[in-house]
Structure 1
Amino acid sequence: MPTIHHLTTAEAIATAAAHFATLPRIGIDLEFDDMRHRYGRHLALIQIFDGQEAYVIDPLPLPDMAAGLEPLFAVLRDPAVAKVFHSCKSDILLLDEVFNVHCRNIVDTSVQFTLLAAEDNNISLGRLIQAELGFEVDKGEQKSNWLKRPLTDAQMEYAANDVLYLFELTDRLSLRLAELGRSEWAAQENLALEAVRYGRDDPRPWSRNAAKYKISPQEMPAFRELYMLRDTVARQLDRPPYHVLSNDRLAELARQPIETPNQLRTANGLHPELKRSPYAEQLLAIGTTDLAPEAPLAPEQRKFPFRRRLNGAAASRAEARETLLNALKLHLAADHGATMANMVLSNRLIAEIIEQGAVAALRPWQQELLRESAARHGEDFSLIAEPFG
């Protein structure tokens, strides 16, 4: 095991960042808590590998986390230093959400592996290390409470292992992509990661859970109010919402609301805070008040699929586009395999192409493959190239 530097002060972080800024690349990973032990998303560690040694950067002791980490953030913004991650979207979303930091010059080993079009497209770092390097790393600390201090030796080793092998992995995968003529594909996908941003304006944050539990329109007002009450209590307690009220219990209460103080006293599965004022009164009001129905979303906030907004001749034209795209997906599968076909024309991408056109919805490498398959099988790519209408 290489040397692991445990950095806990702004001065030590600044010194390490000055070193990282001189390098052509660093390996990087983040550990954070996402509604597991506290409310919200909280950065817990940043791990860096410089090619020789590992650095485990602990931001929790910093008096001002953002200010103390700014020298490192400057390196993350610097396009002259490549940042090698594995499956980086959660990490870069956290950096954007919490610190408004946008990482440049990203190399993602998960992206590289995906573009090889192996059968297993969504591979974990541990399994990739085993497949490419031939040994296993201990993943026993995967579900650790990374906000708890002091860190154990096992946590430190786990954190370091997440970055120690990234250079060797990316170098191997880069060679294999080059042999297949897909290096430019990886460059396009990695560049697109720089534009990933955290979505801050969800007008109905309860809607995904409501869909999962098949909440009816009649049950939706109670579900909505219970969801928002749970969030308020969780935020006040600094606990994950499921500690206040599980998702299963939330759905049950939307269908059978609590209507009397006695029902509230004997109700199971509620955090004690929900049985105290003022939240007890709010919970009872949800069960005994005629609640406002869901207000229609503004047109720009609606997430209905494009096809569902059409009728008549326009709907027929959209259906013809979809039929052609499904035919092209079959051709891609015949030419390049089912995995690659789904990378170029997943259900999500088909829906986007129907509305936006292939030129806007697809990366250049995806367009190239699609054009080639269309030409080989006598299909007209131009029919789906431009935006609808």
Structure 2
Amino acid sequence: MPTIHYLTTADAIADAAAHFATLPRIGIDLEFDDMRHRYGRHLALIQIFDGQRAYLIDPLSLPDMAAGLEPLFAVLRAPTVAKVFHSCKSDILLLDELFGVNCRNIVDTSVQFTLLAAEDNNISLGRLIQAELGFEVDKGEQKSNWLKRPLTEAQKEYAANDVLYLFELTDRLSARLAELGRSDWAAQENLALEAVRYGRDDPRPWSRNAAKYKITHQEMPIFRELYLLRDAVARQLDRPPYHVLSNDRLVELTRQPLETADQLRAATGLHPELKRPPYAEQLLAIGTTQLAPDAPLPPEQRKFPFRRRLSGSAATRAEARETLLNTLKTHLATDHGATMANMVLSNRLIADIVEQGANAALRPWQQQLLRDTAERHGESYQSIAEPFI
């Protein structure tokens, strides 16, 4: 195990960041809590590898987290230093959400592995280390409470392991991609990660859970109000929402609302705060009040699938476009395997191409592969290249 430097002060972080700024690349990972031990998303640790040493940067020790981490954020923004991650989307979304930091010059070993089109595309770092380097790393601290201090030695070693092997992995994967002529594919996919941004202001945050639990249109008003009440209590307590009311219990209360004080007192699976004013009264009001349905979303926020907006001859033409894309997907699977076919023409990408055209919806490497496949099998790429008219 290389030396681990545990940094807890703004001065130490600034000194380390000045060192990182001189390097061609750093390995990086974040540990954060996402509604597991506290309400919301909280950065808990930043791990950096410089090729010889591991640095564990403790943001919780800083009086002003954003200010104390700014020298490091400047390195993350700098295009001159490559940042080697594994499966970085959650990390870069967190940095954007909490600090408005957008990473530049990203190299993602998960992206590199995916482009090899192996059988298992969504590979964990532990499995990738085992597959490429031939040994296992201890993942026993994966579900640790990273917001608790002091960190144990086992936590520190686990955190360091998340960055210590990134250089060796990316070098191996880069060599294999080069052999396959796919280095430019990886460059395109990694460049696209720079544009990933956190989606703010979800107008209906309850809708995903509602869909998962098959909440009906009639049940939706009660489900919505219970969801929002749970969120308000969780925010006040600084606890994850599931500590206040589990999703399963939320659905049960939607379908069998509490209507009396006696029912509330006897109810199980509720955080005690829900049985106290003012939340107790709000909970009973949800079960006894005629609630308004969701107001229609403004047109710009509606997300009806493109095909559902069409009728008549336009719908027929869109269907023909989709049929051709599914035919090309079959050809891709025959020529390059099912994994590659899904990377170029997943169901989501097919829907995007029907509306936007392949030239807008696909990366250049995907366009070229699709164009070559169409030509090889006597199909027309040009007929799906441009937006639907």
- TM-score (ref. length: structure 1): 1.00
Tell me how far apart the structure 1 counterparts of residues 35 and 384 of structure 2 sit (CA, whole Å): 42
Tell me how far apart the structure 2 counterparts of residues 351 and 99 of structure 1 sit (CA, whole Å): 33
Write the letter of the residue equivalent to 1:232.
A
Tell me how far apart the structure 2 counterparts of residues 284 and 259 of structure 1 sit (CA, whole Å): 5
Write the letter of the residue equivalent to 2:335.
D
Secondary structure of 2:324 counterpart? helix
Tell me how far apart the structure 1 counterparts of residues 110 and 15 of structure 2 sit (CA, whole Å): 30
Structure 2 matches for 1:261-300, cutoff 5 A? Answer: 261-300=261-300
Q: Which residue of 1 aligns with 2:232?
A: 232
Q: Which residue of 2 aligns with 1:89?
A: 89
Structure 2 matches for 1:107-122, cutoff 5 A? Answer: 107-122=107-122
Structure 2 matches for 1:173-192, cutoff 5 A? Answer: 173-192=173-192
Task: Report the alpha carbon displacement of residue 298 of structure 1 after superposing the two structures with TM.
Answer: 1.3
Q: Which residue of 2 aligns with 1:324?
A: 324
Q: Which residue of 1 aligns with 2:33?
A: 33
CA-to-aligned-CA distance 1:336-384 (integer Å, 9 cap, x gap): 1100000000001001111111000000000000000000000001111
Tell me how far apart the structure 1 counterparts of residues 299 and 328 of structure 2 sit (CA, whole Å): 32
Write the letter of the residue equivalent to 1:249.
R
Tell me how far apart the structure 2 counterparts of residues 352 and 237 of structure 1 sit (CA, whole Å): 42
Tell me how far apart the structure 2 counterparts of residues 160 and 201 of structure 1 sit (CA, whole Å): 35
Gaps spanning 5+ residues in structure 2: where? none
Tell me how far apart the structure 2 counterparts of residues 147 and 201 of structure 1 sit (CA, whole Å): 26
CA-to-aligned-CA distance 1:226-281 (integer Å, 9 cap, x gap): 00000000000000000000000101111111000100000011000000100011
Write the letter of the residue equivalent to 1:379.
E
Write the letter of the residue equivalent to 1:383.
S
Task: Report the alpha carbon displacement of residue 311 of structure 1 after superposing the two structures with TM.
Answer: 1.3
Alignment: residue pair count:
389
Secondary structure of 2:43 counterpart? strand
Between 300-309 and 23-32, report the one with greater CA deviation. 300-309
Q: Which residue of 2 aligns with 1:211?
A: 211
Q: Which residue of 1 aligns with 2:199?
A: 199
Q: Which residue of 2 aligns with 1:171?
A: 171
Tell me how far apart the structure 1 counterparts of residues 178 and 251 of structure 2 sit (CA, whole Å): 51
Tell me how far apart the structure 2 counterparts of residues 85 and 118 of structure 1 sit (CA, whole Å): 19
Task: Report the alpha carbon displacement of residue 34 of structure 1 after superposing the two structures with TM.
Answer: 0.3
Q: Which residue of 1 aligns with 2:362?
A: 362
Write the letter of the residue equivalent to 1:50.
D
Structure 2 matches for 1:6-85, cutoff 5 A? Answer: 6-85=6-85
Secondary structure of 2:6 counterpart? strand
Task: Report the alpha carbon displacement of residue 385 of structure 1 after superposing the two structures with TM.
Answer: 0.6
Task: Report the alpha carbon displacement of residue 297 of structure 1 after superposing the two structures with TM.
Answer: 1.2
Tell me how far apart the structure 2 counterparts of residues 132 and 345 of structure 1 sit (CA, whole Å): 28
Write the letter of the residue equivalent to 2:9.
T
1:251 aligns with 2:261: no
Q: Which residue of 2 aligns with 1:382?
A: 382
Task: Report the alpha carbon displacement of residue 328 of structure 1 after superposing the two structures with TM.
Answer: 0.5
1:373 aligns with 2:373: yes
Gaps spanning 5+ residues in structure 1: where? none
C-alpha RMSD over aligned residues: 0.5
- TM-score (ref. length: structure 2): 1.00
Tell me how far apart the structure 2 counterparts of residues 161 and 376 of structure 1 sit (CA, whole Å): 46
* Segments ≥4 residues shifted beyond 4 Å: none
Tell me how far apart the structure 2 counterparts of residues 296 and 63 of structure 1 sit (CA, whole Å): 44
